[in-house]
Amino acid sequence: MFSIKLGLKNLTRQKRRNFITILVIAFAFFIYLFIGSMMEGMEEMSFNNIKNYDTGSIQVAHPEYWEDKDKLPLENLIYLNQDVEESIKNIDGVLGVSPELRFKANLNNGIDEVAVQGMGISIEQYNEVFATQNHVVEGSMFVPGESKAVIGVSLAELMDLKVNDYITLLVRTKEDTFNTIDLEIAGLLYTPNPMINNGIVFVPLDIARQALNVENGISMMVVKTNKEKEINQTISNVNQIFQEKNLNIHAYSWKESAKTVIAIRAAEDAETAVILIIILTIGMIGIINNVILSSLERTREIGMMKALGMREWEIVLVFMVEATGLGILGGLTGCLLGAAGVWWIVKYGYDLGYIGGDMSMYGIPIIDKLYGVWNFSSFIFVFFFGIIVALLSSIGPAYWAAHKDPVKAIYHR
């Protein structure tokens, strides 16, 4: 017990050096917590932006279409009757279904032309599944029966278009013949998902079907569910319907379409591990440095302790308590700084304007601001991790100090 008391009292020695060590540990912890919050925020925002504006919770498609879906083919489309749609809607937790016909197109404004992705949607069903309608910044979404289109603000700026302007979509039909779709711009979008803003033209489903000559075909059916944790069960229920009706159609989780972001997340995990290793190294160096300097300064004191009959492990304990105290103080300070930093990034977010404002170029569907998230378990983890690192890294130098020859230590000058 006295070793513990002495170790704690020793924290009041070399205040400046201890303060710097505590600050170094705290800074390392702050960086870990702050970056961790940003990374998790990025993941959460990315996933929400994918689900709410692109994929929904579940996508239903022909397996061969799914393989080639990035090429936007018009082969292997699916033809669902009202029966199947109703069956899917009746599954527990399903909030809505939205048919989509995705196709390649060139957007022509009369002067310039740019490659885009056309998206034929049934507007009423689409609004049940996606939150896109909440992000119309000018004009409105089209209503059924109108020959109108909705595009993103970025695309409109690129093509110098505004609401009520006319555009022509140049498309190839299922039979690979050229066709055009003339549409008036009904509204401009600015969604949190930059991929939507930059290159998609929303058109009424019936107009798209007619122009592409695909009859009642759709590329996929998007399903929205409110039971995210039970998504696999919902997918299984949807597939059950297709099996019963002997349809070669399959349901896929939104995660299948978010593979890029998930891969980036895996890279971020590796990055977090590297940060953790750096923190560990910084903390260890700080603690080891502190214990070595303390033991050098207190050589005669160590000699006296040994002369009085303290065993080596009792002297080791004195230094370990001191180092652990530094770890605790550094951890607490780091957690306080981290809490302040995370509070700021959660409340105000990081303005992506400093790095171009749009992370879609890195494959991350986030725009304008990146918000952090609170993860209290990472605070608890980093705090106890810090204590353990401090404790373990002090053992070596503490033992080195305690193992000194008592005669040399007492008469050390």
CA distance linking residue 41 with residue 175, whole number of Å? 45
Tell me which DSSP letter residue 71 carries.
G
Contact 17, 321 (CB under 8 A): no
Q: Is 342 exposed, middle or buried (0-12, 13-18, 19+ CB in 10 A)?
A: buried
Residue range at the interface with another protein (CB under 8 A); choices 63-71, 191-199, 232-240, 304-312:
304-312
CA distance linking residue 380 with residue 385, whole number of Å? 8
Shorter beta-carbon distance to another protein: residue 221 or 320: 320
What's the maximum distance between 2 C-alpha atoms anywhere in the chain? 99
Contact 231, 108 (CB under 8 A): no
CA distance linking residue 157 with residue 138, whole number of Å? 13
Antiparallel, parallel or unpaired: β 200-204 and 113-121? parallel
- Is residue 325 at the binding interface for another protein, with CB under 8 A as the rule? no
Contact 94, 224 (CB under 8 A): yes
When binding is defined by CB under 8 A, the residue of 311, 361, 362, 380 that contacts another protein is: 311
Task: Write down the least CB distance from residue 288 to another protein, Å.
Answer: 22
- Is residue 245 at the binding interface for another protein, with CB under 8 A as the rule? no
Enumerate residues 68-97 that contact another protein by CB under 8 A.
Answer: none
Task: Write down the least CB distance from residue 373 to another protein, Å.
Answer: 43
- Is residue 307 at the binding interface for another protein, with CB under 8 A as the rule? yes
Strands (E), 233-304: 250-253
Shorter beta-carbon distance to another protein: residue 71 or 413: 413
Residue range at the interface with another protein (CB under 8 A); choices 59-67, 83-91, 273-281, 404-412:
404-412
Residue with tokens 């990374």: 39
Q: What is the per-residue binding string for another protein in 258-297, x denoting contact by CB under 8 A? A: ----------------------------------------
Contact 319, 392 (CB under 8 A): no
Task: Write down the least CB distance from residue 295 to another protein, Å.
Answer: 14
Task: Write down the least CB distance from residue 286 to another protein, Å.
Answer: 21
CA distance linking residue 335 with residue 207, whole number of Å? 57
378 closest CA partner among 25, 5, 28, 29: 29
Shorter beta-carbon distance to another protein: residue 135 or 306: 306
Task: Write down the least CB distance from residue 255 to another protein, Å.
Answer: 58
When binding is defined by CB under 8 A, the residue of 102, 135, 306, 404 that contacts another protein is: 306
Residue type, 341: G
CA distance linking residue 109 with residue 379, whole number of Å? 53
Task: Write down the least CB distance from residue 291 to another protein, Å.
Answer: 16
- Is residue 162 at the binding interface for another protein, with CB under 8 A as the rule? no
Enumerate residues 7-36 that contact another protein by CB under 8 A.
Answer: 9-10, 12-13
Task: Write down the least CB distance from residue 282 to another protein, Å.
Answer: 27
Residue with tokens 């951890």: 331
End-to-end CA separation in angstroms for the chain: 30
When binding is defined by CB under 8 A, the residue of 158, 282, 304, 336 that contacts another protein is: 304
Binding site for another protein (CB under 8 A): 1-2, 6, 9-10, 12-13, 300-301, 303-304, 306-312, 406-407, 410-411
